[in-house]
Amino acid sequence: MDRLTAGSVAGLASGIVVGTISQILHALGICRMCLVSIGGGMFLREMLGATAPLYWQLVGWATHLIISGLLGVFTVYILVLTGREYALWKGLLFGAAVWFLSIAFISPLAGYLPRNASPADFFIVLAYHLLFGALTAWLLVRYAKHALMRKIDST
């Protein structure tokens, strides 16, 4: 399996797990921020509400999974460049970095910050990103070892 495929598949698998957890916690009222609703709401500049039409929820899932696949590819190259050792820690660090960049830079620059979010909600979203990074790195090390090998030039 090549790096692009391995990263995309690992990112998609992790995105499905994290997106589902996010939707469940959002539906239960535990977290007011849902990654899928945020993804669908990017085009409306506000998080999708519970009454959002089904097609916006589908747009949210598509956006969430596309971003997850791309982040999975980034994770592959992080592990190729730095080695497979401590992959879970590297995944956690990458997840934290993505969370920080999205909360500190991307959302404010896009003019899109979730309303009525508590500090606890931001920490729950951090936990989603940490889980995504660790799970993606684990999947890559466990199932795509050949994609993580460096090619040695003989020149």
Name the pTM for this structure: 0.88
Rounded CA gap, 111 and 92, in Å? 27
Checking if the pLDDT of 153 tops 60, the result is no
pLDDT band at 53 (very low <50, low <70, confident <90, very high): low
Rounded CA gap, 84 and 78, in Å? 9
pLDDT band at 128 (very low <50, low <70, confident <90, very high): very high
Q: 49 lies in which domain range?
A: 3-148
Q: Which residues have a Cβ under 8 Å from the Cβ of 115 and sit 6 or more positions away?
A: 46, 47
Checking if the pLDDT of 37 tops 70, the result is yes
Q: Would residue 137 count as lying in a domain? A: yes
Rounded CA gap, 3 and 80, in Å? 9
**Considering its fold, how many domains does the chain have in total?**
1
Buried/exposed 33-49: b ≥16 CB within 10 Å, e otherwise: bbbbbbbbbbeeeebbe
Q: Would residue 13 count as lying in a domain? A: yes
Q: Would residue 153 count as lying in a domain? A: no
DSSP classification of residue 117? -
